[in-house]
Amino acid sequence: ENYADWRIPFPAANRTDLPVFWQIPKAGGTVVKRILGECLGMVEFSEEGRDHVEPTLQILENSNGLRYLNVDATSTVGLQRAFDLNIAQSGLADVMFTTLIPQAAKIFT
């Protein structure tokens, strides 16, 4: 019962889960990010938001049309900020990319 029903098209209005992509350096994660973000238009929670410190969650867009949240998913400081801003419950992100799986688990509690 803790697994998502993969047969439901994504994104769907009634889905509340946040898929997490374990990004391993030099393992093709950049290609996956480009496909999901630039081709499919998904909002990502990744290192793209590393230089932002706004007090609320925002969806931003880079020059390539990639939409991302203003929080860093690749640092412990960024993950703590994500937890404080209730990022998992916000419904703003379509996918999360991180190398810090154990630390990232906290945002789902």
Residue 2 falls within a domain, yes or no?
no
CA atoms within 13 A on the CB side of 94: 19
Pick from 10, 4, 23, 18: which is nearest to 92 by CA? Answer: 18
Residue 12 falls within a domain, yes or no?
no
Residue 96 falls within a domain, yes or no?
yes
Tokens linked to 11: 């994104």
Tens digits of per-residue pLDDT, 31-82?
998 899 888 899 999 999 899 889 999 999 999 889 999 999 999 999 999 9
Per-residue confidence band for 15, with pLDDT thresholds at 50, 70 and 90: low
Number of independent structural domains in the chain: 1
Give the structural domain span for 43.
20-108
Residue 47 falls within a domain, yes or no?
yes
